[in-house]
Amino acid sequence: MFLGQGDRLAALLLRVLASSVLLSLFSAQAQDSGSDRTYLRADRPSIALSAREGTGELITAAGTVKLLKDGVLIDEAALSRGRAFFSSLPFGDFTLVVEVTGYKSTQKDLNLSVAMRYEVDANLQREGGSSEAEGASAKPLLAPKAREALDKSLKALGSNKLSDAEKNLADAMKLAPNHPDVLYVQGVLFLDQKKWSQAQGVLEKASQMDPGNGRVFSALGMALADEGKYDAAIAPLEKSLQLDPGGWEANWTLGRVYYHQQQYDQALKTSQAAWAESKGKEPQIELLVAQALTAVGKYEDAAQALRDFLKHYADRPEATTARRWLDGLASNGKIHPN
């Protein structure tokens, strides 16, 4: 059984929106390092990060900054002209993980013990000898008006306001019709509209223009899977995981593809990886784990996964399905009665 397209898109957009909201707040102010202070609460710490090359210049390539506390991802922001911001943070120890296409990722540890703005510089080194990385780092920048329209489109997509998303995307396409970021959002919109072939077309183009963007390959794999092109979906999904090893959305889709192809061992491996990496962000992954465990004959483990789902997510619509599967395992004599 495959999971709903709307749930998959919600998962795909979850990471995008976290960065998009922050970007929309700060993009207009990024050139002035002090101009964003009106958004900051005086009684809480904040972080202003600058991603720089070895020369000290700000990096203009596309990238993201992940904010972790105790090893758990709590926020994510997109770089805008080499800058990213996090505001109204709790006190304590944090880790910033900076990932930029064409550069080696780096991380910075810091302690927020005072209600102030912490200015953090992250120096990144270029990936050596990679023509693909060089092409990714050369991706053109979006003009401010195009970026603003694109951010509005992403926000509307996250709220399932498709007409607003389409309108703002049209504005962005007038200004930058062939920019890979614009094509990516267009592909996601097509996915939401269940226009699989159109989504495949624009996402393939985006992947050629921006070969270092794991999100594009993940979305392309989704489009191919939704078209029933399961064999073709595997390559872009695996490529996405090479570029973003923590991409739980790609693992989730790949697990579903393997399950559909009756490659149950691989379905179990990828679905378990998706569940671990998502840290509970998408509970339906646990149902896919239970399906795969049942398919490989690990019935007691499958039953435990279903019980865990019912324990933590009894109020979700999928709980009915979990109870039915659990009752089926018991009635068929696959598990011991409680």
Same domain, 75 and 88: yes
Same domain, 179 and 118: no
Q: Sheet harboring 46-52: ordered strands across?
A: 83-86, 46-52, 117-123
Same domain, 218 and 320: yes
Predicted TM-score (pTM) of this structure: 0.59
What DSSP string runs through 80-116?
Answer: BTTEEEE-SPPSEEEEEEEEETTB--EEEEEEE-SSS
pLDDT band of residue 44 (cuts 50, 70, 90) is confident
| The pLDDT value given to residue 139 | 61
| The pLDDT value given to residue 300 | 95
| The pLDDT value given to residue 184 | 93
Say if residue 111's pLDDT is above 90.
no
Question: What angle do helix axes 180-192 and 214-226 make, rounded to 10 degrees?
Answer: 30
Same domain, 166 and 119: no
What is the average pLDDT across 49-55?
85
Percent of the chain's residues with pLDDT above 70? 83
- End-of-domain residue from the set 101, 129, 157: 129
Same domain, 86 and 149: no
Q: Output the domain CATH number for residue 125.
A: 2.60.40.10
What is the average pLDDT across 161-183?
91
What the block records as the tokens of 49 is 């990060």
| The pLDDT value given to residue 286 | 94
SS3 153: helix
Chain position carrying tokens 């070895």: 54
pLDDT tens digits, 305-332: 999 999 999 999 999 999 999 999 999 9
Residue-level length of the chain: 338
Picking from 60-74, 128-142, 145-159, 189-203, which range would have the lowest pLDDT averaged per residue? 128-142
Q: Burial-class residue 317 by CB neighbours within 10 Å (0-12, 13-18, 19+).
A: exposed
- End-of-domain residue from the set 74, 105, 129: 129
Q: Are 40 and 46 in contact (CB under 8 A)?
A: yes
What is the average pLDDT across 54-67?
86
Q: Does 57 fall in a domain?
A: yes
Question: What angle do helix axes 180-192 and 144-158 make, rounded to 10 degrees?
Answer: 20
Tell me how far apart the alpha carbons of residues 137 and 163 are, in angstroms, rounded to a whole number: 33
pLDDT tens digits, 176-222: 888 999 999 999 999 999 999 999 999 999 999 888 888 999 999 99
| The pLDDT value given to residue 19 | 40
Q: Are 213 and 16 in contact (CB under 8 A)?
A: no
Q: Are 205 and 213 in contact (CB under 8 A)?
A: no
Tell me how far apart the alpha carbons of residues 61 and 53 are, in angstroms, rounded to a whole number: 11
What is the average pLDDT across 265-286?
92
